[in-house]
């Protein structure tokens, strides 16, 4: 590096003066009131979830709680992450898989949660370590498999990972002589997991663990708990709603940053850089999914991830993004005119999309409405509009023809969250409403996506503070 010139030193000093200008609107604080406990949630919530899952498994297996030890066993195995296959789109940061994170707030690699549904007990197997050991344990407190740790983590027992296999095989007592006249298939132990054993050759430690147990326990029945857990994960607690609101708040900051920065001549990836920077700036763990910044013709591609095009002056820019906060992700889409003002055609189409969203939301009834119905309402609304557009062959259509994807999906730890999406929606469930119009012949793609919580009386728009009317969007972009 060359030494600084006198001019450079002078310009640094000037920049120092500029940066002392009045501060902008106060940023979201990184520490949030109300977000406390184990990864932002009360420890009792985790205990309640393991209790609820075990109750569902008992129901399925015909067991009663605290059944005698000589009855058949039904165990649930939930693996946490291990360092080598930690998934993070931007950096190799440790992250627990969502099923594990939902059931247990423990945040270190190599843990396995085992639930004994018949006995109604939970055991967390961990790698014990001393304080400040190397690698992933760096800076962490000492971890001991003892009672205080179990209490802190909301499980009945914590044990060393070295005891896992021995405990499992002792519990399931396999192999049992199936040919024995006193033993029927209904007496076999059941092991529930969330991993598929089909791809075991290139499997994760979780699949290898299951395969090992399966090989050693040939008469044990292996089953999947994902549909049971999905129905539990679908209904959000107060703490989960707070985490989602936090993720949504950070995502709104990023949409606002895009609005202020956007101008013709920028590349899509420059906006993406600002989005990811804003996520990090406000304490998001990562992006909950790949960011979409689609300008001009790319605005017509709902899943456009390249983000490589230079933005032109008449473009619309679709920005579909979501910050993740402590495993919970937002999913928000806004559409901006590159020039800061919609032209008449863009404004009319934009308003129609916004009205279709409001129309679908206004007809919602808790405990009654299904996602599919709302989808139909939005399509009917678009069809009734007097607006028209032409397809690639030049044929004219009503506007529902240009709405080419589903209206919404559940939202939570996964961006397309788990749970049966065909059932009537109940209080506590969170989902998106995201109508769109895609007219390639006009290079017009518009999508507006917001996140909603079902309450006892209707819907609460969790993203209500993020600008979405044409006037609000233009005010955000005004320089």
Estimate the share of the chain in helix, then strand, then coil, as percent rounded to the nearest 5: 40, 20, 45
State which residue, 41 or 327, has the beta carbon closest to Mn ion: 327
Q: Where are the beta strands (DSSP E) in 95-182?
A: 112-116, 121-126, 157-160
CB of 332 to Mn ion, least distance (A): 8
- Residue (109 or 252) nearer to Mn ion, CB: 252
Pick the closer one to Mn ion by CB: 307 or 432: 432
| Residue 174 lies near Mn ion (rule: CB under 5 A) | no
Q: Binding segment for Mn ion among 205-213, 219-227, 266-274, 324-332 (CB under 5 A)?
A: 324-332
Q: Among 2-10, 168-176, 294-302, 325-333, which window interacts with Mn ion (CB under 5 A)?
A: 325-333
Question: Which of 135-143, 244-252, 327-335, 347-355 is the region at the interface with Mn ion (rule: CB under 5 A)?
Answer: 327-335
Binding residues for Mn ion, how many (CB under 5 A)? 2
The widest CA-to-CA distance across the chain, in whole angstroms, is: 95
CB of 231 closer than 8 Å to CB of 421: no
HEC states along 337-363?
Answer: ECCCCCCHHHHHHHHHHHHHHHHHHHC
* Cβ-proximal residue to Mn ion, closest one: 331
Q: Contact between 450 and Mn ion (CB under 5 A)?
A: no
Q: Which is nearer to Mn ion, 56 or 234 (CB)?
A: 234
Cα–Cα separations (whole angstroms), residue 74 to 61, 65, 71, 176: 8, 11, 10, 15
Report if residue 451 touches Mn ion, rule: CB under 5 A. no
Nearer to Mn ion by Cβ, of 255 and 331: the residue is: 331
Residue closer to Mn ion by CB (options 115, 353) is 353
Query: Does residue 298 interact with Mn ion by CB under 5 A?
Result: no
Query: Between 77 and 330, whose beta carbon lies closer to Mn ion?
Result: 330
Instruction: Find how far residue 87's CA is from the centre of its chain.
Output: 13
- 432 lies in the site for Mn ion, by CB under 5 A: yes
- Is residue 331 involved in binding Mn ion (CB under 5 A)? yes
- Could you say which DSSP state residue 468 is in? -
Residues 223, 192 contacting (CB under 8 angstroms): yes
3-state SS, residue 366 = coil
Q: Are 359 and 378 in contact (CB under 8 A)?
A: yes
Residues recorded for the chain: 479
- The b/e string for 243-280 (b: 16+ C-beta within 10 A; e otherwise) is bbbbbbbbbbbbbbbbbeebeeebebebbbebbbebbe
**417 counts as binding Mn ion under rule CB under 5 A:** no
Smallest gap from Cβ 408 to Mn ion, in A, equals: 7
CA distance 116 to 409: 33
Q: Candidates 22-30, 175-183, 329-337, 470-478 — which segment interacts with Mn ion by CB under 5 A?
A: 329-337
The answer to the question of residue 357 lying near Mn ion (CB under 5 A) is: no
- Looking at 205-213, 326-334, 363-371, 419-427, which segment touches Mn ion (CB under 5 A)? 326-334
Which residues here bind Mn ion, judged by CB under 5 A? Answer: 331, 432
């Amino acid at each position: 590096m060359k030494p600084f010139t006198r001019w450079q030193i002078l310009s640094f000093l000037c920049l120092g003066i500029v940066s002392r200008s009045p501060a902008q609107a106060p940023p979201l604080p990184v520490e949030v009131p109300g977000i406390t406990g184990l990864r932002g949630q009360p420890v009792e919530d985790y205990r309640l979830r393991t209790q609820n899952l075990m109750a569902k498994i008992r129901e399925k297996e015909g067991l009663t709680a605290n059944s005698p030890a000589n009855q058949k066993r039904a165990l649930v195995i939930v693996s946490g992450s291990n360092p080598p296959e930690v998934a993070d789109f931007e950096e190799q940061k440790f992250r627990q898989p969502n099923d594990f994170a939902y059931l247990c707030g423990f945040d270190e690699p190599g843990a396995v949660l085992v639930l004994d549904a018949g006995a109604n007990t939970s055991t967390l197997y961990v790698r014990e370590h001393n304080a400040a050991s190397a690698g992933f344990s760096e800076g962490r407190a000492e971890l001991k498999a003892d009672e205080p740790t179990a209490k802190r983590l909301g499980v009945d027992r914590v044990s060393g990972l070295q005891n896992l296999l021995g405990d499992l095989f002792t519990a399931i007592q396999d192999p049992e002589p199936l040919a024995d006249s006193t033993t029927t298939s209904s007496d076999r132990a059941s092991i529930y997991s969330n991993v598929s054993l089909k791809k075991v050759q290139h499997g994760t430690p979780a699949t290898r663990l299951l395969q090992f147990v399966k090989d050693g326990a040939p008469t044990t029945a292996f089953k999947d708990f994902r549909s049971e857990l999905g129905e539990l994960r679908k209904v959000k607690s107060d703490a989960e709603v707070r985490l989602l609101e936090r993720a949504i708040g950070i995502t709104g900051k990023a949409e606002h940053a895009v609005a202020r920065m956007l101008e013709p001549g920028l590349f899509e990836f420059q906006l993406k850089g600002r989005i990811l920077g804003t996520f990090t700036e406000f304490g998001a763990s990562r992006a909950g999914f790949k960011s979409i910044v689609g300008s001009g013709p790319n605005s017509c591609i709902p899943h456009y991830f390249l983000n490589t095009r230079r933005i032109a002056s008449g473009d619309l820019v679709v920005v579909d993004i979501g910050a993740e906060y402590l495993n919970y992700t937002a999913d928000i889409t806004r559409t901006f005119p590159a020039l800061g003002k919609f032209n008449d055609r863009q404004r009319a189409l934009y308003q129609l999309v916004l009205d279709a969203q409001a129309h679908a939301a206004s007809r919602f009834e808790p405990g009654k409405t299904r996602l599919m119905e709302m989808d139909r309402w939005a399509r009917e609304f678009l069809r009734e509009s007097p607006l028209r557009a032409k397809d690639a062959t030049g044929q004219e259509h009503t506007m529902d023809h240009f709405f080419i994807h589903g209206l919404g999906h559940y939202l939570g730890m996964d961006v397309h969250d788990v749970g049966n999406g065909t059932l009537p929606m109940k209080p506590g469930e969170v989902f998106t409403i995201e109508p769109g119009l895609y007219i390639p012949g006009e290079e017009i793609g518009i999508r507006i996506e917001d996140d909603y919580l079902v309450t006892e009386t209707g819907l609460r728009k969790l993203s209500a503070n993020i600008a979405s009317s044409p006037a609000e969007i233009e005010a955000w972009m005004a320089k």
